[in-house]
Amino acid sequence: MTPGQSLYFAHLAYPHAEELLGAEHAPVLFLPVGATEPHGPHAPLATDAIISQAMCERAAERLAADEQLRGLVLPAIPFGVTRYAQAFPGIVHVDETTLSALIGDVCRSLFSQGFDNLVVANSHFEPDHVATLHNALDQVEREDERTVGFLDLTRRERAQRLTEAFRRGESHADRYETSIVLAARPELVDIDTMKELPYLPINMAKAIAAGKNEFEEIGLTRAYAGAPSEASAEEGNATLDLLAEMLIECARAIVDGTGGRDQPGLFGRA
């Protein structure tokens, strides 16, 4: 692969970035968004950002031979609105206004150069974080009259396409998330600790709906839910294929002008 064929937007030299604007294949830029917070005693603080990055990479790889689109991955935003894990060390929280401004500025900077096709991939599901992403994209749509793609995995129809563990609402450092990290960055998972963790059948979505807003209050006394001991790289790779498929669906709709922006799902707007 030559430098101009990189999957990573920031790895291009500026002449290669300029060439994208007049290329036969419409460039689609994927923006990974995550958080830095505890994910059990076995998985890295960067779990959410790793998942978002991996799904964007998988989508860009699958588009490498596409006849219409070229996918490129933007540098990840590794910080999010994250208060639920505040009782644990390692959390890096940013305020809603900070995240919203950053998302808006990134979109407008790219739009001003002619990069019109953007898709946000998020893997951090704290309600205020998801709502902030929607609010930021709403503002871009109102002020710039541009639609930014967004895959909101808190929507029921999205969740139904994913794993049973995800559908059970256990998606924090659980089998679902740990499997993807094992597929993408296996060296960052403490396998011995992972295998010893007992199953915690906690539906986080229901707990949040009931008004609980801290991990310990929800029952995540070690900052994980579900059954991370059952995680595998094989399952993670299969899940990444599904996530990439959904991202590509958003990308095609953005380019075609037929959609690509999921409306708020489980948690709605702030």
Domain boundaries, the chain: 3-256
What pLDDT is stored for residue 3 in this prediction?
A: 62
What pLDDT is stored for residue 270 in this prediction?
A: 34
Q: Are residues 23 and 117 in contact, defined by beta-carbon separation less than 8 angstroms?
A: no
Q: Give the burial string for 132-155 (b: 16+ CB within 10 Å, else e).
A: bbbbbbeebeeeeebbbbbbbbbe
Walk across the sheet containing 149-151 and list its strands.
69-73, 26-33, 118-122, 149-151
Q: What sign for the dihedral angle of Cα 142, 103, 266, 246? A: positive
What pLDDT is stored for residue 4 in this prediction?
A: 65
What pLDDT is stored for residue 269 in this prediction?
A: 39
pLDDT in single tens digits along all 270 residues of the chain: 666 689 999 999 999 999 999 889 999 999 999 999 999 999 999 999 999 999 999 999 999 999 999 999 999 999 999 999 999 999 999 999 999 999 999 999 999 999 999 999 999 999 999 999 999 999 999 999 999 999 999 998 999 999 999 999 998 999 999 999 999 999 999 999 999 999 999 999 899 989 999 999 999 999 999 999 999 999 999 999 999 999 999 999 999 999 999 987 655 433
What pLDDT is stored for residue 266 in this prediction?
A: 59
Which residues sit opposite 8 in a β-bridge?
73
User: Using CA atoms, how far apart are residues 47 and 109, in angstroms rounded to an integer?
Assistant: 27
**Which superfamily is assigned to 3-256 in CATH?**
Creatininase (3.40.50.10310)
AA identity, residue 197? L
Kindly report the pTM of this predicted structure. 0.95
